Each structure stands twice: as structure tokens, then as C-alpha cells.
A and B are shown apart, each in its own frame.
Chain A
Amino acid sequence: MLDIRNLHASVDGKPILRGLDLHVGTGEVHAIMGPNGSGKSTLAQVLAGRDSFTVEDGSVSWDGVDLLAMPTEERARAGLFLAFQYPVEIPGVSNAYFLKAAVNAVRRHRGEPEYDAMDFLKRVKAEMKTVGMREEFLYRSVNEGFSGGEKKRNEVLQMALLEPRLAILDETDSGLDIDALRTVADGVNRLRSPERSMIVITHYQRLLDYIVPDHVHVLSRGRIVRSGGRELAHELEERGYGWIDEAQATPAAQGAAS
């Protein structure tokens, strides 16, 4: 479904991704773990189309389509969803307007009829209930003054409404207490389906107790350096990331030279 080959990306001339390979099959949940600065968030942003990153080399094929050639909004309409690590506050735009505009942009693309106000409200209120958001959040500005947990719930709400084929969750666990983490993870688990692939990016193993992945990858210095099953996450939990860097001393030197 998603095929990333030899992906190199840089920001302001500084290489961040240095030959990343990853294959995500339909319906699979892949966790990407790694220390700070390993390129996890860059990967998420590059896949979503952030143009402050420059793709230097490599390819990303998504169901046979060149993902990197698509503008950000077209990726979204085609079913790619990025749950932000730091959801952006947008003063002056109500959550209701934002959600409706997003859902209808995606529905138009799919050739489905746009929601009118009534249908939309019915749908969104039902989804809010499942992620534990009060209705007042509809009429507040997007993410403005939301707590960390409320922002992440809002991300999961958007994911539920947009029904993506590929969801990328960028450190969705950061800044959450255990109750909020559980609610958010429940929301994500409800959206697991054989048609929907997910990439779950996290620094900590804890999230993976709740969102159990099919595959775990370790990212270090812009490359996947180890892949395995969920037991790999436990190993990282016990041993930390230090050993990865040591084990990677030689390949990393190659990466730096390229």
C-alpha cells in the first residue's frame, strides 16, 4: 500500500532522513520508535506534504501513485491523515466550520454528497461522544485554549470524521496523562480496520500497550535500523535507545558521509 524507498529529506540544507525504507501493507499498524532527533516527525511531515522539507532522493508510492508529487490537500482528500504532535491553534475559526469544511472537501473528492448543516451536526456530535468531547468544543476556535488532551482528542475526532485510508499519528501520546491516553487510544482502536493502515510514531513504548502494532521499527539518524514485532518495543523500553546508537556507529558514519 505505502512503499517508501531510500527517502532522503533535509531542512535548510541539513539532512534529516537519510535513506529510509518502509513498507506498510493495507490494514497494518506500524509503530515507529526512536530517540529525539531521529527524524520521526520529519517523516510524518514529509508524508503529509510539508514544503519546508526538501525531498532530496527516494520515492514514496501509495497504491501505485507518486505521493510526493501530490499537493498536501490532495493527499488529504485521497485519504492520508496526519494527527499532529502539536495541533495548531487557529483563533477566529470555529471548530464546527473547520470540521465541516474538511469533511466536505474529502466527500467532494470521493464523489459523495456534501453534508448540510443538520447532517453534519448529527454526525459530528455522535463522533464527539465517542472521543469524550463536549459539544461546546464545536463552537470554540480550533484548538484555541484547548488542553493537551483536548487537542489530541480533537485530532482523533478529525480522523474519525475524515475516514482516512492511511493515518499517521505523530506522538499522539505526548503530553497526555494516562486517562487521556486511554481515551485517545480507544478512539484510534475503534478506527482500526482491514482497509485502514496506520503509522504510529512514538518515543515511548507506553502508547503501544494501548494501540498494539503489527510491526515495530526503530528509527535512528534518519533510517530504519531495526524492524520486528511488538516485542521490539518492550526491548527498547528495557534497554533504552543508547544501544541503537552504539550498534549504528558504522552505518551512521556512512549516512553522514552521503
Chain B
Amino acid sequence: MSTLEHWLQRYNAGRDALPGAGVPWLDALREEAIMRFADEGWPSNRLENWRHTSLALLEERSFAPAAAPLAPEAVLQRLRRDGEEAAGGHWLVFVDGRHAPALSELGALPAGAEIRALADVLATHAEAVEAHFGAVDEGASPAALNAALATDGAFVRLARGVALDAPLHVVFIGGVREGASLVRNLIVAEAGAEATIVEHYVGVEGAGDVQAGAAAAGTAGALTNAVTRIAAAQDARITHLKLQEEDRSTVHVAQIAAVQARGSVFASHSLSFGAQLARNDITTRFDGEGCEALLNGLFHVDGRRHVDHHTRIDHAQPRGTSREFYRGVLDGAGRGVFAGRILVAPGAVRTDAMQRADNLLLSPQAEADARPELEIYADDVKCAHGSTVGQIDEDSLFYLRTRGLDEAHARNLLTYAFAAEVLERIGLAPLKRRAQAAIRARLPGGELMEAL
């Protein structure tokens, strides 16, 4: 059975059990969405945007939960312990794409902040979601599959001027009892609201463990399909950090789409360290004047793993500022893809856009593609971009060795330093430290780098 049929069957058999089933607008949207997916299938490299990253492998794949999964409790505990400010923040936890109230700990929220499981909101007052759920034609076909079948996710609504005191951690633990998780997060920040939201995607086979058998062959494994929509109203400030640490056999397909009103500030940090294949589409659109966006990213691949980021910044209005920094560390026969599209619409004068993409190859078999795409239709704009693919700098290596550091230590140090520079842009110190620990755990000799 091809997975296309698998998904149609899953939809037909399960649609009445989906949250909010029976709500007319939602039923209609899901129906249309599954039709779009059935029509288009998984994207393959025949599509320009998927030239380097085909999802055709998903057609032959059975979506299997982990063979010997860790208990979600243990996974969560490790995650919360890793940050020293572990106890702090608001925690909303999902297992296999379903809210796990027993593992969640939202704590006290300020008045005007609503944080709930999307399934609950759809079941009780779906009308609050309608304007934010998203349309069928948004994104690529996996986003349509998500619209049809998403089981849950975080729903965050911040009333005018409300600031979330501590980060909201949304945790997705996948592959426990089910092979596929489809989740949708909706973040709505009204004027002047402010929040930091962290999405964690974690597997249950122990981070970084090499697995044998079917998983290594790439024919079985879990799937995560995630969509996050962010609406930032005037002067809202949203920081979004995504930490992707899925199992090495998981395929992770995700979209983060923001829309910004006048004077709003959106920062996205995408840290993609796990998964067999991860594809992240991250977009923002400036719908008002004077918006700011930071798209910051770091990925690490080894073995035969593959990480792809496609970003798009839509400077649709004047006086917008965007900064984009992506770095990749590529080992083994890993593959990294970055495509950064910047669109400056007619009339979007005094746009200031800057993009950099740098890749560090640690092995001759690793491969990186970095592709900037600037389309500028306005005058009086500042746009700059640059990209590099290189190896460890020999001068730096020699310098460190002349100070007594052995070659391996020096290489590891330079590798970590290259990666850690990206993390310096994460404003909140506890989140920065958590991110540093996560990349250290993956790089050789990382345990020596703690005091950097």
C-alpha cells in the first residue's frame, strides 16, 4: 500500500474522531485539505523548492513507533533537567501528537494569556480558532496533510499588551505508540503582546543513539509533521525557538509561518540537530511598516542525515528590517540545504535586509548547498547576502596547536565555536545555555567545551 492510500484511509476512518469534528468550517477545510494532499502527494525533487530534498521516501515507508521507546516521562524529565532553570517556565506537553495533561505544567499565567491544547479549544469554542487555523493552500502539500489530520498542538492567545513572564515550552514527544504525529500550533499575539515560545521535538530512543535494522535502512521510522502559525499584531514581540532533536530514524517536516503587523518584532531560532531527514520552511511577511525579523538557524548533520531549511522573508511594506543568519555543521556523509528567499515588494522602500549562510564541512563526504534568492522590486533598499562552504581554518588550527592543544581538541573547539556563535543571538540566557548543551552533546569532544 502506498502511503497516499494509507493517509486517505486514515482520514476516512478517523475524521469523525478528530477534534472539532462536526464544526462545518473545519470539516470543509479538512475535506479540501486531504483532497489537495491526495492530488499532490509528497513533494519530490521535481519541484523547484524540493530540488535537494525529496520526500518521495515517505511513499514506501511504514510509520513505526520506536522499537523500545523510553517512557515519555523519562524523556521529559531529561529535557527539563537539562536546563538549569528547569523548574521555571510554562510547559505544555504532547505525546504522539496528543496533549498529555499529566505531563504538562502550565503554572500561573498572567491575565489575558490563554494557553491551551488546540484540541480542547476546537472541541469547546472552535469559532475562536477559525480566523487563525490557516488555509488549505498555504505551504506545500505536507502542510495540507497537516490541516486535514492534525490531532492537536498549542493554542496561544495573548491579549493586548500581555507579556508572558517566562518562556512557554511546548514539547512534542513522538514515536511512543504511534509512528506519525501531526501537530498544529497557533500563536496569536495582540497589539503590544510579548512572549518567548520554545518548541521541542524529541524522540524516545535516546538522543543521538545510532539505531540498527530497518530504521538505519530508512524504511521504517517515525514521522513528525508540524505547522506553526504566528500572528503578531502591531508592536507585538514574539521570540520563537525550535529545538529539533528527533530520533535518527524520524522524518521531520515542519512549517513556521509568521505574519507581522506594523512595528512588530519576530525572532525565529531554528536549531535542527536530529532526525534522519528534517525539512523546515520558515516564512514571515511584513504586513505593516517598520517590522523587524531575525531568522537565526543552526543545524548539524552526520551519518547520512539530511537537514533542509527554506526561508522566505516577505518585505511587503516599507521600512522593514530583516537579519538572517544560518550555519550548518556537516559531518559524515551528511547533507545540508539552505535556501533563503527575500522578497522586497514594489513600494517597500527603505527595506534593510541582510542574509548570511555559512557551512562548515568536517568530512569530505559531507555536502552543503546554500542558495540566496533576492527579488527586489523597490528602490532605496539595502540588501546584502553572502554564503560560504568551508573547512576548519588551518591558521586557527595551527595557532591553537602552538599553544599546546592537541589537534583533535583544537578541531573540536573551532567546530563548537563556529556553532556557538549562532546561539549568541538567543537573548534569554537559560535558553542559550540549553541550546549550547544540546549542540555540545552532539559534537565530538563537546564535554570539554562547557566553559567556553
- A-to-B contact residues, CB < 8 Å: 48-50, 52, 71-73, 75-77, 81-82, 84, 87-88, 90-94, 96-98, 100-102, 105-106, 109, 117, 141, 158, 162
Contacts and interface: CB of A to CB of B under 8 A. Distances in A.
A162 B396 contact: no
A109 B399 contact: no
Interface string B191-224: 0000000000000000000000000000000000
Contacts of A82: 402
B417 A93 contact: yes
B404 A88 contact: no
B451 interface: yes
A76 B403 contact: yes
A76 B413 CA distance: 18
**Which of the listed residues B402, B416, B418, B420 has the most CB atoms from chain A within 10 Å of its own CB?**
B402
Given A72-B402, A73-B407, A90-B414, A97 B452 contact: yes
A98 B402 CA distance: 12
A158 B452 CA distance: 18
Most buried by B among A87, A92, A109: A92
Name, among A52, A87, A90, A141, the residue most crowded by chain B CB atoms within 10 Å (CB to CB). Answer: A90
Contacts of B39: none
A92 B405 contact: no
Contact of A109 (B394, B401, B404): B404
B450 to A, nearest CB: 9
Contacts of A94: 452
B25 interface: no
Nearest to B404: A105
Given A49-B402, A72-B401, A84-B402, 15 more contacts: A48-B398, A72-B402, A87-B399, A88-B398, A92-B418, A92-B424, A93-B413, A93-B414, A96-B451, A98-B400, A101-B413, A102-B403, A105-B406, A117-B451, A162-B403
Contact of B395 (A72, A88, A92): A88
Nearest to B398: A50
Q: Which 10 A-B pairs have the closest CB atoms?
A: A92-B417, A105-B404, A102-B403, A88-B399, A72-B401, A76-B404, A92-B421, A93-B417, A73-B401, A77-B404
Contacts of A72: 398, 401-402
15 contacts: A73-B407, A77-B404, A81-B402, A84-B402, A87-B399, A88-B396, A90-B396, A90-B399, A90-B414, A96-B451, A97-B452, A98-B400, A141-B417, A158-B403, A162-B403
Which secondary structure dominates where chain A touches chain B? helix
A162 B395 contact: no
A96 B451 CA distance: 9
A71 B402 CA distance: 9
Interface string B1-12: 000000000000
A102 B399 contact: no
Contacts of A106: 404
A87 B394 CA distance: 13
Nearest to A143: B399
B409 interface: yes
Contact of A93 (B402, B404, B452): B452
Contacts of A52: 394
A98 B414 contact: no
Nearest to B419: A92
Contact of A98 (B393, B403, B420): B403
Contacts of A90: 396, 399-400, 414, 417
A77 B151 CA distance: 60
A109 B394 CA distance: 24
A162 B396 CA distance: 19
B313 to A, nearest CB: 25
A91 B421 contact: yes
Nearest to A78: B404
B417 A162 contact: no
B451 A102 contact: no
Nearest to A96: B451
Nearest to A142: B399
B399 A84 contact: yes
Interface in B402-452: 402-407, 409-410, 413-414, 416-418, 420-421, 424, 451-452
A81 B402 CA distance: 7
A132 to B, nearest CB: 21
A56 to B, nearest CB: 20
B404 A73 contact: yes
A39 to B, nearest CB: 18
A37 to B, nearest CB: 20
Nearest to A79: B404
Contacts of B417: 90-93, 141
A96 B407 CA distance: 19
B325 to A, nearest CB: 13
Contact of B404 (A84, A87, A91, A102): A102
A105 B405 contact: yes
B401 A92 contact: no
Contacts of B395: 88
A75 B407 CA distance: 13
Nearest to A77: B404
Contacts of A75: 402
Contacts of B410: 73
Contacts of B401: 49, 71-73, 76
B418 to A, nearest CB: 6
Nearest to A51: B398
